[in-house]
Amino acid sequence: MTVVAESPARPGADGPPGGGRRLVEMALRARELSILGALAVLVVGTTIANPRFLSGQGVKDIFLNASILVLLAVGQSMVVVTRNIDLSVGSVVGLVAFSAGRFAAGGDRNIVLVLLVGVAIGLVCGLVNGLLVSFCRVPALVVTLGTLYVIQGLDYRIAHGDQIGAAELPSAVLKLGTDGVLGVPYLPLITVVVMLAVGYYLRSYSSGREFYAIGSSPEAALLAGVPIRRRVLTAYLVSGALAGLAGVLWLARFGTVVADAAHGWELKVVSAVVVGGIAITGGVGTVYGAALGALLLTTIGSVLVVLKVDSFWQDAITGVLLLLAISVDRLLALRVTRALKQRSLESTVHREGRS
């Protein structure tokens, strides 16, 4: 077409519309803020009902309980952001808690060595998941469902009906679960350090952004030359390693470990991640949000105990929260997309009019 459109400039429509970014940032922040808000309401409400809830020990317990879930949520976030899922984490925690316990009980082992063994086992599990998903192109849901059962079976085989008792463990291991630095227990400390490191990496490093790129549009990522397989493999390795770390922390915190430790936790972790604002379709969300989601779920559990509510309500409430989070996401996504389209349209019309 050789026609050139011309029309007089429209008055009052100068300058590019720049609200699109604020809108989206607001939508993202809104998630983290609303979780914080929910946490605040929950804590204040419960404290009014039972003032002992906010005692030093109560708060400490919540953070100790949340540490392991948050750690797993951080690893899971990396996987989900790439539009994949890791359902095997619960089994990995169980396997590592038991086998690291067996290893530690075998002699007066150095705690660092125990941690390394746990992380190494986790890495191997992550490697298997990652290779199957990224190189063999099997859907993540199926692969990790499979490894969930395989690892669980392995765990049962090793345990053989036994359990690890706190009395068998070297004191260094148990100290990891109880001691701390300046009154702050090790567990939350480790978790926060890991969370900050992963969060910082994902946000501020070029390769970190590629995880989001892959989840946002795999085709575009391929065409942009993003090493998709390597990144997806990395995500599973991190998730596996963190699950291994979580397994050792589990051992340290509880001392007594049976074979089905952390049984069913994979779904808890995925729930926490989704409640925390990571889109299950990838590309959106932060590990901080996921961590907050995990903290929220844990707090609800503690609150129910304090309020003497039957514990089976906890699962129902988790479910409701999950549905709420997904509905809000969907609604928000629709709203934001519509607003952005409108804005883009206006700016096009505006441009057509001006030049």
Partner 1 sequence: MTAPARSAPPTLALVNVSKSFGAVRALQDVTLELHAGEVHALAGENGAGKSTVVKTFAGVHRPDAGEVRADGAAVTFGGPADAQAAGVAVIYQEPTLFPDLSVAENIFMGRQPRAGLGRIDRRAMHAETARLFERLGVPLDPRQPARGLSIADQQVVEIAKAISRDARVLIMDEPTAALTGQEVARLFAVTRTLREQGCAVLFISHRLEEIFELCQRVTTLRDGGFVGTDLVADLTPDDLVRRMVGRDLDALYPKQDVTPGEIALKVRRLTREGAFTDVSFDVRRGEIVALAGLVGAGRSEVARALFGVDRWDAGTVEVDGRALPPGSPTAAMSAGLALVPEDRRQQGLVMDMSIERNMGLTQLKALRRATGRGGLISRRVERDRAADWGLRLQLKYSRLSDAVGVLSGGNQQKVVLAKWLATEPAVLIVDEPTRGIDVGTKAEVHRLLSELAARDLAVLMISSDLPEVLGMADRVLVMHEGRLTAEIPRADATEESVMAAATGRPGNGKAA
Taking CB under 8 A as the rule, does residue 210 contact partner 1? yes
Please, which residue, 5 or 181, has the CB nearer to partner 1?
A: 5
Residue of 26, 324, 331, 349 that binds partner 1 (CB under 8 A): 349
Taking CB under 8 A as the rule, does residue 1 contact partner 1? yes
Please, which residue, 149 or 200, has the CB nearer to partner 1?
A: 200
Question: What string of DSSP letters covers 163-189?
Answer: EE-GGGS-HHHHHHHH-EETTEEHHHH
Q: Are 92 and 194 in contact (CB under 8 A)?
A: no
Taking CB under 8 A as the rule, does residue 109 contact partner 1? no
**Least separation in angstroms between CB 78 and partner 1:** 16
Q: What number of chain residues touch partner 1 (CB under 8 A)?
A: 51
Residues 6+ apart with CB under 8 A from 141: 85, 87
Residue of 11, 15, 56, 161 that binds partner 1 (CB under 8 A): 15
Taking CB under 8 A as the rule, does residue 12 contact partner 1? no
Taking CB under 8 A as the rule, does residue 137 contact partner 1? no
| Pairwise CA distance, residues 243 & 274, whole Å | 18
**Least separation in angstroms between CB 21 and partner 1:** 4
What are the φ/ψ torsions at residue 164 (nearest 5 degrees)? -95, 130
DSSP-assigned beta bridge partners for residue 180? 185
Q: How far is CA 206 from CA 84, 200, 213, 286, in A?
A: 20, 11, 11, 16
Please, which residue, 149 or 205, has the CB nearer to partner 1?
A: 205
Taking CB under 8 A as the rule, does residue 181 contact partner 1? no
Residues 6+ apart with CB under 8 A from 155: 91, 94, 95, 98, 99, 259, 260
Q: Which stretch binds partner 1 (CB under 8 A): 87-95, 159-167, 232-240, 333-341?
A: 333-341
H or E element at residue 257:
strand 257-258
Residue of 184, 224, 309, 316 that binds partner 1 (CB under 8 A): 224
Taking CB under 8 A as the rule, does residue 183 contact partner 1? no
Cα torsion through 231, 200, 60, 298, rounded to 10: -50
| Pairwise CA distance, residues 303 & 307, whole Å | 6
**Residue ranges in contact with partner 1 by CB under 8 A:** 1-7, 15-18, 20-21, 24, 204-206, 209-210, 212-213, 215-217, 219-227, 279, 283-284, 336-337, 339-345, 347-349, 351-352, 355
